[in-house]
Amino acid sequence: MQSISILGSTGSIGVSTLDVVARHPDRYRVHALSAHSRVAELAQQCERFRPEVAVVGSAAAAAELESLLRGKGLPTQVACGPEALCDIASADGCDMVMAAIVGAAGLASTLAAARAGKKILLANKEALVISGQLLMDAVAANGAGLLPIDSEHNAIFQCLPPGYTRSMPAHGVEKILLTASGGPFLTRDVATLNEVTVEEAVAHPKWVMGRKISVDSATMMNKGLEVIEAHWLFGAPADKIEVVIHPQSVIHSMVSYADGSVLAQLGNPDMRTPIANALAYPERIASGVAPLDLAQIAQLSFSQPDFGRFPCLKLAYDALRAGGTLAAILNAANEVAVQAFLDRRIGFRMIDQLIQRVMSAIPNRQAADIGALLEQDAQARAHAEALISQ
């Protein structure tokens, strides 16, 4: 029996993780759950899964949750704030951590899990985008495990040889091929993208995701962040990571080898597949996902991404090639820009323009610790907000 702490349990990844866990009560139990502000949903999860601890974002939310849990007669301990997240990520009572908090907010708890030597199921790509070297060093130094949950990176993980050591030449790996659906605006007239509404941007054609990540998919910043994540996970330089548009979202990613072979992982677009893979690795367990019917799909298509349509993807490649803290600056500016778009403060095409202006304005530095990274993050956010308010 393995115990798991799920950080971000009321989000789409957290809900899917609990679905897989519930299918295997003989294998897994929930040690802790966290949610920022969805108190009612978290209380329902606590009632079903009986965690020892539940963490929320504020004291007010904690008081509300405490009241709900005591009303149900549940003994789950309630805590709040970033330190409490780090506590449940590093607790002796948990064997593995699902890191599914969106954005920079999930960085500290993911690092805490790594320093505690936990098996980390990484759904928070920003942790690697912002602090790739720090996180990978912490994983190596403390004997932690790091298994990717993003469907693309989990697919790459499955296509790489067992025991892969983050050295492409040592394993005959020629290239990493990241597939992308292209989002809802793949064929829309570029000249009309200024008119994109929030409702259109969050309506992903294949995946059910949160609002922020749905906008990232529409701009393809999500794929750009995945390029940076792939660099850290697999030791791949920028010129060995290729993005391929694949609208059907059936092939989740591929690995090209020196002998000419290309290995691909296929499946229906459902996050329970990579979650189940990472939970049980190296075993395979049922995920609840329907088997793939290739005859029904009939056709798979591929194309190269257009940087004119998707400038955010190019910005991410630029940040990766530049190194230093530029990826952290990129991520911070993107988070602010996307939220401003969701709040209807800026237009859709202002997202990439804002990010580019912030990347040009904030000096790119080297950062040896999380404090320096968070300082760059804060500067980028402040500058982005200032530009929006002009």
Average pLDDT over residues 164-187: 95
Q: How high is the pLDDT of residue 118?
A: 98
**What percent of the chain has pLDDT above 90?**
89
Binding residues for Mn(2+): 150, 152, 226
Cα–Cα distance measured from residue 95 to residue 90, given in angstroms and rounded to the nearest whole number:
9
pLDDT tens digits for range 199-239:
999 987 776 677 888 999 999 999 999 999 999 999 999 99
For the CA atoms of 160, 94, 133, 223, the dihedral, rounded to the nearest 10 degrees, stands at 60
The torsion angles phi and psi of 46, rounded to 5 degrees, stand at -65, -40
Q: How high is the pLDDT of residue 307?
A: 95
Band of pLDDT at residue 43, cut at 50, 70 and 90 = very high
Average pLDDT over residues 308-319: 97
pLDDT value at 285 more than 90: yes
pLDDT value at 371 more than 90: no
Average pLDDT over residues 128-150: 94
CA 202 to chain centre: 17
Question: Mind giving me the DSSP string for 321-358?
Answer: HH-TTHHHHHHHHHHHHHHHHHTTSS-TTHHHHHHHHH
Q: How high is the pLDDT of residue 354?
A: 98
CB 41, CB 10: distance < 8 Å: yes
pLDDT value at 49 more than 90: yes
CB atoms inside a 10 Å sphere around CB 378: 12
Binding residues for 1-deoxy-D-xylulose 5-phosphate: 125, 151-152, 181, 204, 217, 222-223, 226
Q: How high is the pLDDT of residue 239?
A: 97
Question: Mind giving me the DSSP string for 153-190?
Answer: HHHHHHHSPTT--S-TGGGTEEEEEEEE--GGGSSS-G
Question: Which domains are assigned to the chain?
Answer: 2-148 (3.40.50.720), 149-318 (no CATH), 323-390 (1.10.1740.10)
Binding residues: 10-13, 124-126, 150-152, 181, 204, 210, 217, 222-223, 226
Q: How high is the pLDDT of residue 240?
A: 98
pLDDT tens digits for range 247-270:
999 999 999 999 999 999 999 989
In this structure, the chain runs to a length of: 390
CA-based torsion, 325, 117, 112, 5: positive or negative: positive
Q: How high is the pLDDT of residue 254?
A: 98
pLDDT value at 103 more than 80: no
Q: How high is the pLDDT of residue 105?
A: 83
Q: Which of 109-113, 275-279, 369-373 has the weakest average pLDDT?
A: 369-373
Binding residues for NADPH: 10-13, 124, 126, 210
